[in-house]
Structure 1
Amino acid sequence: MGRQGNSSARGTASGSSSVRKPSAAVYRRRRMVVGGALLLVIALVAGGFALAAAFTGGSQKASSTQPSSTETASNPAASPSAVPTPSASAASATPSPTAPATPTCNQNLVTVSAATDKPAYGPGENPLLTLKVTNGGTVPCEVNIGTSQMEFLVTSGSDRIFSSKDCQASSEDLVKVIAPGASETANFPWSRNRSADGCKAVAAAPGGGGAYYIFTAKLGSRASPKAVFQLN
């Protein structure tokens, strides 16, 4: 009986150890461990999001200051190479400065003057009449100084004494370029005779005795000032 009691006692003890539930203290420790592990996981997850956000923000900042190749292609203004440069055709379209026009001769500055080789002539002396054409401008001028344009005219008051055109054998043009300030001259020795239009014969001769005569040189529509001389 004593053995049975001991067996029962051992059996009871063994049975109670196999079905014994953890105590309240054990449950609290387990909950603390699980709670700490969960907090650690949450902290790691939150930290991961923070790091991810930090890298994402840095990446966005970098991309905002340094456009990618895709953004550069879609936005030409973001690329320095997209700045337009003048092309050869644009440069050639720019009008070049025009050369200054060559100044033209002012024919109003071409003048005619008359002169005689002496102021007075004695009996038997023939006056030498000189027609002078001068370019008073600053550029060369073409002037017709041919016999078709010239006339040596001698008058005395209202009396027309002589004209070189009355008996002119030929009428020719002679165009010459007269430099600025230069002159061309033509001389005509006058025989102290009268003439008439169409080279008609004139019996009378101009008088001497100290009479004054006027020589006027003409070239086309130009006429010289009067040159006065005396025949004795």
Structure 2
Amino acid sequence: MVIALVVSGFALAGAFRGGSQQASSTQSSSPEPAASTPAPSAAATPPASAQATPSAAPSPTASATPSCNQNLVTVSASTDKPAYGPAENPLLTLKVTNGGTVPCEVNIGTSQMEFLVTSGSDRVFSSKDCQASSEDLVKVIAPGASETANFPWSRTRSADGCKAVAAAPGGGGAYYIFTAKLGSRASPKAVFQLN
């Protein structure tokens, strides 16, 4: 699935790639024991409705599935190169991984994503600053699977509220830090250099 965001004239194309297991694992995301309630009432109803009850029998198996541990869903940040020449733009990658043993439902929409670039205490760029719209995209991530989104950063500055920024990030071998965020989760820092 491809998500497009317009950020102060720049198109943010985040291609989230995931497994085809999301449809089959969706049922395990609601481990409520709803099937145990109709079973006693089925015994008191006529035989016709009692025959409909066995079709709900697989549900208790699904309700016995352990719930997802959201603490095992992690976010990582990376760049396509460690250093960039004066005419090269960094490709920033946000990766969400389910490190648990059961499928996890995670909102990986643009409402949750942030690509943040800093240099020391200088907040250089955030994809949230000029985000035109934000959307939710809830996906079920299979155990051990990942979803990724790429952001080509055009080496520009941004400011909160999309205020105009005249200065550009410095080159000349300066180091920058990319942090990927998804909701309250933040990745370890990815360091890269602009020449």
- 1:85-124 correspondence runs (5 A): 101-124=64-87
* Match of residue 222 from structure 1: 185
By how many angstroms is 1:168 displaced? Answer: 0.6
- 1:27-46 correspondence runs (5 A): none
- 1:1-80 correspondence runs (5 A): none
DSSP 3-state at the match of 1:152: strand
Q: Among the aligned pairs, what percent are the same residue?
A: 93
TM-score normalized by the length of structure 1: 0.57
Unaligned runs of 5+ in 1: 1-91, 93-97
Match of 2:99 among 126, 136, 141: 136
- 1:190-209 correspondence runs (5 A): 190-209=153-172
DSSP 3-state at the match of 2:71: helix
Q: Which runs of 4+ in 1 moved over 2 A?
A: none
* Match of residue 167 from structure 1: 130
By how many angstroms is 1:101 displaced? Answer: 1.6
DSSP 3-state at the match of 1:230: strand
- Residues 1:126 and 2:75 aligned together: no
Match of 1:157 among 112, 120, 124: 120
Looking at structure 1, the residues matched to 165 and 65 of structure 2 have their Cα atoms a distance apart, in angstroms, of 52
Looking at structure 2, the residues matched to 120 and 174 of structure 1 have their Cα atoms a distance apart, in angstroms, of 32
* Match of residue 180 from structure 1: 143
Matched residues, number: 136
Higher helix share: 1
Please give the root-mean-square deviation of Cα atoms over the aligned residues, in Å.
1.3
* Match of residue 75 from structure 1: none
By how many angstroms is 1:124 displaced? Answer: 1.3
Looking at structure 2, the residues matched to 187 and 210 of structure 1 have their Cα atoms a distance apart, in angstroms, of 23
Higher strand share: 2
- Residues 1:213 and 2:176 aligned together: yes
Larger Rg: 1
Looking at structure 2, the residues matched to 105 and 171 of structure 1 have their Cα atoms a distance apart, in angstroms, of 25
By how many angstroms is 1:164 displaced? Answer: 0.1
Counterpart amino acid of residue 65 in structure 2: T
TM-score normalized by the length of structure 2: 0.68
